Amino acid sequence: MAEETKSPAELSAGNFITEFIKEDTAEGGRYEGKTVHTRFPPEPNGYLHIGHAKAVCVDFGIAEKFGGMCNLRMDDTNPTKEDVEYVDAIKEDIKWLGFTWDDRFYFASEYFDKMYGYAVELIKKGLAYVCELTPEQMKANRGDLSKPAVSPYRDRPVEESLDLFERMKNGEFEDGKMTLRARIDLASGNFNMRDPVIYRINRIHHHRTGDKWCIYPMYDFAHPIEDALEGITHSLCTLEFEDHRPLYDWVINNTSVPCVPRQIEFARLGITNTVMSKRKLRLLVEDGHVNGWDDPRMPTLCGLRRRGYTPASIRNFCERIGVAKTNSVVDYAFLEHCLREDLNLNAQRVMVVLDPVKLVITNYPEGQTESFEIENNPNKPEDGKRTISFSRECFIERSDFIEEKIKGYNRLYPGNEVRLKSAYIVKCTGCKKDDDGNIIEVYAEYDPLTRGGDTPDGRKVRGTIHWVDAESYVDAEVRLYDNLFTDPEPDVGDKNFLDFINPSSLVTLTGCKAEPSLAAANEASRYQFMRLGYFCADKDSTPEHLIFNRSVSLKDSFNKK
Ligand code: ATP
Ligand code: MG
């Protein structure tokens, strides 16, 4: 699916969700004349990942497209593992992507009183009852496709259920002792409709409502009510909720909620060589396989941000993968491709040597320094120019020199000429080694007539290498990242994703040599280190200890496919 990218015309043509919404808001449609209103409902039990970014782009993006509104709602009806830390992080990530919920920020737990009221309404209508089966008994009585479920408490008098439900709320019964079940259809082919549990007893402290409640609503009951109370017209969610839609509609149709939202499902996003469930991501963090939720190898938005991903690249990615009705796994290379496109246009070009060896230009006067003006970004002349200095000694990559020529190698070896990017053509004359045979210096002579890197006589110089002046440079630490997992689909089937952790997903280089302008790098800076890739300053980088993360390499493996 990622293989074919869409043209702008195809993009603005929309998708099946926008088609539904157009129908709904058109003349005679169910929401004729109404403002489109969506919501993004994360459960605050972890950080947002790139899969959530897709949902954010769908929810907020579609509202934006129709001139509507999108609410941000923390789905905190399940009180386990919720944390204020996550709430703040979720807000930060959505803002970073460039979306706004204005003042429409809600917690589902704000509606607990109303939900309780709607549950009582259902009991009074004979549409819900208190059941005393244990979870095991309930499971054993579920029936199968040819056999209806059995529910011995289903015909309990309304008054009795009302009384028991109130006493459930008042804490008179132990956890798990009773549930409230919707009275729908024990023979339904859709098991979600076989008198589903809509309330259970669970004595867990809630991070917002404290110990006020010891009964909590189930998702399938709570979610449609939350949507209706907020006036949501279109409740967009992922495909796993498709089989729950009849229950969603049942709750809406059988309670006196103030509006009738429409649930529409779309496919979940999966990406190769990573895992996407919050539970698995949390395990990676808690077991120390990565350095926190914002480790640049994580598919979380904070991880991608630290890695150097831009909001534009992620929104563009989400737009181009599109929304469909079939789950699919998108190649990680496509995400990288979207970042590379953005950075190719916008990143400043600089020179950094990762694995330095000194190059001495023996015919260049000692003590002399000159400077060159180079463009910050050839794709954006408006970004101006900066000055870099050049003197008798500079650093080059160790791999840009070999002692003996090999076929196809156009860089430095004795007798060969190369261009020091934007400076001069130099001819290699040899090298010096230490007692162990390691090369410690490379020697060359420059041609003063080639200032700027041009050959006035038109002679051909094939290799161009980057360099950093040894008279003025800054040291830097550089972190190179690779896939977190060696297997493209580390968690499908019965695979244990922890078995596929890539041991070389992080390589840290120290003592790298960078041109001095990089001392001013900040979190917003985006660079192309010439010939090496796109980089950004890590959040822990300081002028005294510069740290750069490789966001993505230059080579596009996506285009090749
Ligand atoms: P996870 O399985 O990662 O824990 P979740 O679905 O439990 O995810 P929620 O916080 O409930 O996480 O998700 C909030 C919204 O984001 C939901 O509407 C959900 O459908 C959507 N969402 C979650 N994961 C993906 C994904 N991989 N692709 C698209 N949408 C997603
Ligand atoms: Mg969830």
133 and 244 in a single domain? The answer is yes
Do the domain assignments include residue 280? yes
Tell me which of 411, 441, 472 is where a domain ends: 472
Tens place of pLDDT for every residue, the chain, 561 residues?
333 444 444 444 589 999 999 999 999 999 998 999 999 999 999 999 999 999 999 999 999 999 999 999 999 998 876 678 899 999 999 999 999 999 999 999 999 999 999 999 999 999 999 999 999 999 999 999 999 999 999 999 999 999 999 999 999 999 999 999 999 999 999 999 999 999 999 999 998 999 999 999 999 999 999 999 999 999 999 999 999 999 999 999 999 999 999 999 999 999 999 999 999 999 999 999 999 999 999 999 999 999 999 999 999 999 999 999 988 899 999 999 999 999 999 999 999 999 999 999 999 999 999 999 999 999 999 999 999 999 999 999 999 999 999 999 999 999 999 999 999 999 999 999 999 999 999 999 999 999 998 889 989 999 999 999 999 999 999 999 999 999 999 999 999 999 999 999 999 999 999 999 999 999 899 999 999 999 999 999 999 999 999 999 998 766 554
Closest residue to atom 2 of ligand 1, CA basis: 277
Contacts of residue 483, Cβ cutoff 8 Å, sequence gap at least 6 = 273, 274, 297, 332, 502, 505
375 and 358 in a common domain: yes
Please report where in the chains the tokens 């950004």 appear, as a residue.
Answer: 536
**Ramachandran region, residue 288 (left: φ > 0; alpha: ψ -120 to 50; beta: rest):** left
Asked if residue 313 is part of any domain, the answer here is: no
Report which ligand 1 atom has the smallest distance to the Cα of 276: 3
Same-domain status, 451 and 371: yes
The answer to whether residues 250 and 288 belong to one domain is no
- DSSP annotation of 295 reads -
What's the CA dihedral at 377, 382, 383, 385 to 10 degrees? Answer: 80
CATH number of the CATH domain containing 54: 3.40.50.620
- Is residue 389 located within the same domain as residue 480? no
| 138 CA from centroid of ligand 2 (Å) | 23
Instruction: Specify whether the CB–CB gap between 119 and 113 falls below 8 A.
Output: no
Indicate if 52 and 111 belong to the same structural domain: yes
Residue bearing the CA closest to ligand 1, atom 27: 51
- Beta strand 37-40 pairing with 69-74: parallel
My answer on whether 96 and 161 are in the same domain is yes
CA of 21 to the centre of ligand 2 (A): 25
Residue at a domain's end among 451, 472, 493 = 472
The terminus-to-terminus CA distance of the chain in angstroms comes to 12
- Quick one: 466 and 542 in the same domain? no
Give the CATH number for residue 358.
2.40.240.10
| CA of 279, nearest ligand number | 1
Closest CA to 199 of 173, 177, 218, 183: 218
Number of domains the chain contains: 3
CA of 277, closest atom in ligand 1: 3
- Name the pairing type of β-strands 348-350 and 328-330: unpaired
Active-site residues: which are they? 43, 268, 278
**Which residues, including other chains, have CB under 8 Å from residue 303's CB and lie 6 or more apart?**
293, 294, 295, 296, 297
CA of 43 to the centre of ligand 2 (A): 6
Instruction: Mark which of 472, 489, 523 sits at the end of a domain.
Output: 472
Neighbour tally for 529: CB within 10 Å: 25
- Please check whether residue 502 is in contact with residue 322, taking contact to mean a CB–CB distance below 8 angstroms: no
In a domain, 343, yes or no: no
- CA 494/CA 500 separation, integer angstroms: 13
Nearest protein CA to atom 13 of ligand 1, as residue: 42
Give the SS3 label for residue 435.
Answer: coil
CB atoms within 10 A of CB 280: 16
Among 531, 487, 392, 397, residue whose Cα is nearest residue 448: 392
Rounded to the nearest whole angstrom, what is the distance from the C-alpha of residue 42 to the centroid of ligand 2?
7
What's the pLDDT score for residue 306? 98
For residues 112 and 228, state if they share a domain: yes
φ/ψ (deg, to 5) at 388:
-125, 150
194 within domain boundaries? yes
Residue 71, SS3 per DSSP: strand
- Return the beta strands (E) in 228-367 as ranges: 234-238, 262-266, 269-271, 328-330, 348-350, 352-353, 356-361
Alpha carbon distance 283, 498 (integer Å): 9
Position 335 in a domain: no
For ligand 1, which residues put their CB under 6 angstroms from it?
41-43, 51-52, 54-55, 75, 237-238, 268-269, 276-278
**DSSP states along 85-145:** HHHHHHHHHHHHHT---TT-EEEGGGGHHHHHHHHHHHHHTTSEEEE---HHHHHHTS-BT
Best mutation site among 38, 39, 49, 52 for ligand 1 pocket (most ligand atoms within 8 Å of CB):
52
φ, ψ (nearest 5 deg) of residue 157: -60, 145
Which helix (H) or strand (E) segment holds residue 197: the answer is strand 197-201
Is the residue at 3 inside a domain? no
Question: Which ligand 1 atom minimizes the distance to the CA of 279?
Answer: 4
Taking the C-alpha atoms of residue 525 and residue 510, their distance in angstroms, rounded to an integer, is 20
Ligand 1 centroid, distance to 76 Cα (angstroms): 14
133 close to 257: Cβ distance less than 8 angstroms: no
Q: Whose CA is nearest to atom 8 of ligand 1?
A: 277
Same domain, 457 and 518: no
- Does residue 221 lie in a domain region? yes
CB 533 within 8 A of CB 290: no
257 and 276 in one domain? no
The three-state secondary structure class of 523 is coil
How confident is the model at residue 4, as a pLDDT? 43
396 forms beta bridges with: 357
Q: Whose CA is nearest to atom 4 of ligand 1?
A: 278
Q: Which residue has the tokens 């919920």?
A: 101
Residues 236 and 89 in one domain: yes
- Residue 336 in any domain: the answer is no
Distance CA 137, CA 90 (A): 39
Domain interval for residue 429 = 350-472
Closest ligand 1 atom, CA of 45? Answer: 10
